[in-house]
Amino acid sequence: MASSTKPRQLGRPVSIVGAGMSQFGAFPGKDSRDLFVEAFQDMLDHLDQGMDVQDIECAYVGNYSSDLFEHQGHTAPIIADWLGMTPVPVTRIENACASSSSAMREGIMAIASGLYDIVLVGGMEKMTNLPTEGVTDVAIKNHENGALNPKAQFNVTIQSLADRRVARAQQRGLPVPEYKDEMDFLNDPQANPWIAWPLRLYDCAPITDGAACVLLVASELAHNFTDKPVHVIGTGQASGRPLHDADELTSLSAAKIAASRAYEMADVTPDDIQLAEVHDCFTIAEIVAAEDLGFFSPGEGPRAVDEGRTSLTGDKPINTSGGLKAKGHPVGASGIAQVGEIFHQLRGEAGPRQVANPNLELGLTHNVGGTGGTCVVSILQRG
């Protein structure tokens, strides 16, 4: 009965045939159900062969805290109602920032169990109605990617932010700062104040409203939806103890274990992964993630970023979407938004941020809840 002896396999293979995402940002006039409907409509509009909403048999909604943010619990059947899907079974999954990737695992298992063929998985968070505030090479890279993502909350480069600051000072007749490059701007404590060392403002993911969803189907049915399915070939999830009990601060044990399970199931190695969306809630978290995933040796992550290896044109592009940092981080939606980005990249439809590699086949998502209490890793393959 030991659990460690097996790379387990799903009883039935599962594929992704559609992905949608709302605009990410701050939307005072929308609540989370509006955002989910927007993501769902975006998915429907881009399904290769369309579908009847009534064919969806089951749904999962990742959401961290509609309870506190919107004073509304039991959100899953509300989403079902707004999508016109009642009475399909629909369940809310809450694992903090890993809520929607945990939801995706439930969708995968629901299909693999034999109970369902067609399952909608999504997530959403409405966050900006609460008061809050909230860099380095990772920030520069992810803002460059975000500038190529029309749905990103920060659809703008760090250089543009610097230029805007200069222009504003000139307009207002204030002393005009001189920035010789982006890093110079990021080192200006006026432009980029300290939050908590070593993190400045632009090291932190923003507070974001947004939703995202994907459509999972039994692989044998994928051809009914698209000629370009993306298969889920690996999934791993692990829990972790609180950060104050962690063995080290530059690695998350849950991430390493979840990754290991996903690699085993997919029968691939970190070197096989061609691009990844990782949980860059803070710039340093992207580097920790890249090392936990085995892309780089411990301590080698920063140099890989410096050398451009994780940029759009590097050998291991990371967070081509702009990541949580620039795309935005609506907690309950982030995991599925990551999956959506890999889906689009593997299908060659990521537009100006498309990774150039013509042999793109394998991508990975890495989504963390809390301070590593939950981590979910998915490995996706072009069909």
> Token pair of 166, please?
């200069």
- Residue with smaller CB distance to a second copy, 51 or 161: 51
Return d(Cα 369, Cα 375) in angstroms, integer. 6
Q: Which stretch binds a second copy (CB under 8 A): 9-17, 148-156, 266-274, 355-363?
A: 9-17
Site for a second copy in 15-54 (CB under 8 A): 54
204 is catalytic: no
> Token pair of 169, please?
């000072």
242 binds a second copy (CB under 8 A): yes
Select the residue interacting with a second copy from 49, 50, 53, 68 (CB under 8 A): 68
Select the residue interacting with a second copy from 30, 33, 105, 327 (CB under 8 A): 105
Select the residue interacting with a second copy from 70, 94, 209, 291 (CB under 8 A): 94
Q: Which stretch binds a second copy (CB under 8 A): 81-89, 193-201, 269-277, 294-302?
A: 81-89
183 binds a second copy (CB under 8 A): no
First to last CA, the chain: 34
The secondary element (H helix, E strand) that includes residue 286 is helix 283-292
279 is catalytic: no
**Residue 94 neighbours by CB under 8 Å, 6+ apart:** 62, 63, 64, 65, 332
Question: b/e per residue, 6-32, with b = 16+ CB within 10 A?
Answer: eeeebeebbbbbbbbbbbbbebeebbb
357 binds a second copy (CB under 8 A): no
Q: Which residue among the candidates 329, 344, 366, 375 is catalytic per the annotation?
A: 329
78 binds a second copy (CB under 8 A): yes
Please report, to the nearest 10 degrees, the dihedral formed by the alpha carbons of residues 122, 96, 125, 331 taken in order.
-90
What does the angle CA 360 – CA 365 – CA 371 come to, to the nearest 5 degrees? 155
Residue positions annotated with a catalytic role: 97, 329
Where along the sequence are the contacts to a second copy (CB under 8 A)?
1-3, 8-12, 54-55, 57, 64-65, 67-68, 73-74, 76-78, 80-81, 85-96, 102, 105-106, 108-118, 221, 224, 236-242, 245, 253-254, 257-258, 369-370, 373-374
